[in-house]
Amino acid sequence: MLIIVRTIMAIGNVICFITNTLVNWFLAHKRPTYPPIEDELLLKSVGELVLELRQKKITSHQLVQAYIIRIQAVNPSLNAVLENRFEHALKDAKHADSLIAKANNEQLIALFARYPLLGIPFTVKESVGLKGLSFVVGNIYRKNIKCEHDSKVVERLRSAGCIPLLVSANPEFCMSYETNTKMNGKCRNPYDLNRVSGGSSGGEGALNGAGATPFGLASDIGGSIRLPAMFCGVFGHKATGGLLSIDGSFPYTDDPVFPQYLTTGPITRFAKDLPILLQVMAGENIEKLKFNEPIQLKDIKIYYTYGFNGCAALVHPPTEFDIQLAITKAVKCFEKGGLTTAKVKLDKFAHAREIGLGALSAIRGIPSVTTENTPKIRTLIWQLLLSLIGKSVHNRDALFMEWMRLKKVYMSTEELEELRIEGEALKEELVQMLGNNGVLFLPTFPTSTFAFNTGTLNLVGVGLMLLFNILGLPATHVNMGLNKRGLPIGFQVVAAPYQDKLCLQIAAELEGAFGGWVPPLPNDIKT
């Protein structure tokens, strides 16, 4: 059975490559129709904003109002917002300002020690869970459902003084690489409105890329933070498996492996903000990250690869030249700084996609998009056929992914067990290679953003994102500017479990060296 799956994947790889090539030749570039950034407040990192709030140079009300105005300016083009709480956010901001205003210098130190992100607004992926707002997750049978409680990570951010503004778009049940649902329509890429913003955290990717949020809270089980970050030109971190809570997120199951695979995490324009945010989100698990034991940059070892070699290259999409070039530039930059680098082959990663999909298929208790207590293959196939002609109430990608999961990716029990063992051996080898001071550079995804309605085809590129969820290794997408078509590119940095700080340190260094986020439109700051 496994040979059949790989044959299908090889054929799909060829079709995907041809489709993406034709799209890049013929799809017209639809430039942003929203205005450029005009308020310099929107260009400051979370760290800078906290300092200015603490110094009473700005108010939280000013900051929240500035982001509300920006969201209202960009959302008609992007369609990234599902529901907002702007009025409540402004009230929260006034409360934060009152606490700051009446505090003297000593009291301010204590205030910001207790609330380290006091007065900072942020946005939330709908599926992560924000009390009182939409919790539909793109499914028609969940229409009008509101979230009853804040998710654990939202709770931690609010306890740190953060102010949620809205919930953003995601695909149906978060099962797609494009955020395009029957319920809400297309969430568009801020750099090219004819292309996807990624999935499943597409709304957060779009808002961050357009400069419409200081940071976003998202989730990732197969690249759902890293892919939107890449497609929308920003940074995103998938933490070590189990580090960040998923309590209150959707979907959820009591299968004990699920919290190891799915993780919440930040998306932001500024890599230097990632450690600040991660420390708050980690809660009691922060000690596991050992942020108080920094590693000197010169002591970090860099391993890198551009993609698959040999026979494995036949069943995986080739990496675009501009992405390969970005990895080369990053490696050369660190070599000039005296760091040790080594190119590695992905021979052991040849079955990455099968290892990942096989592990997902073994998860028990995931709810069905068809809302049946016991999902039926017949129903899924029928809805899938209807989706091909636009007649299904569900999205094609969600139906396809559930069908493949229920059919165990058409692999036998013995084959799935062999892949599980292979995955464990691969993790052991990677952990040994990386140690406590090594990182691996490799593509996040083989291409820049693709066209709408090609997400199912592009699932062939899932391997190098999904694998690290299954293995539990931390991974940060690093933005490296734009390609020749003006679309964002970058790559991911992977480290051993609980060495998240290495990924974040490398991301910040590359942001400093190569400039980080590039606005979709030149800024037009009003003085």
Q: CA–CA separation, 229 vs 215, rounded Å?
A: 11
User: At 61, phi and psi to the nearest 5?
Assistant: -60, -45
**Which residues participate in catalysis according to the annotation?**
125, 200, 224
User: At 488, phi and psi to the nearest 5?
Assistant: -65, 145
Q: Which of 23, 24, 31, 29 is nearest to 190 (CA)?
A: 31
| Sign of the torsion angle spanned by Cα atoms 247, 128, 90, 142 | negative
Asked whether the beta carbons of 376 and 369 are under 8 A apart, the reply is: no
Tokens of 398: 């969600």
Tokens of 124: 């939330």
Q: CA–CA separation, 342 vs 302, rounded Å?
A: 6
User: At 492, phi and psi to the nearest 5?
Assistant: -105, 150
Between strands 81-84 and 185-186, the pairing is unpaired
One-letter amino acid for residue 12 of the chain: G
**Is residue 303 within a helix (H) or strand (E), and if so which, with residue range?**
strand 301-304
Bridge partner list, 236: 267, 477
User: At 16, phi and psi to the nearest 5?
Assistant: -65, -45
Q: CA–CA separation, 509 vs 520, rounded Å?
A: 22
Q: CA–CA separation, 309 vs 399, rounded Å?
A: 32
One-letter amino acid for residue 173 of the chain: F
Cβ neighbours of residue 216 under 8 Å, at least 6 residues apart? 122, 123, 124, 125, 168, 201, 204, 205, 207, 208, 266, 267, 268
| Sign of the torsion angle spanned by Cα atoms 270, 499, 225, 14 | positive
Asked whether the beta carbons of 368 and 375 are under 8 A apart, the reply is: yes
Bridge partner list, 83: 167
Q: CA–CA separation, 430 vs 440, rounded Å?
A: 9
Asked whether the beta carbons of 485 and 471 are under 8 A apart, the reply is: no
Q: CA–CA separation, 205 vs 140, rounded Å?
A: 24
Cβ neighbours of residue 371 under 8 Å, at least 6 residues apart? 139, 141
Give DSSP secondary structure letters for 6-66: HHHHHHHHHHHHHHHHHHHHHSPP----SPPP--GGGGS-HHHHHHHHHTTSS-HHHHHHH
Angle at 233 between CA 227 and CA 235, to 5 degrees: 70
Q: What is the CA radius of gyration of the chain?
A: 22
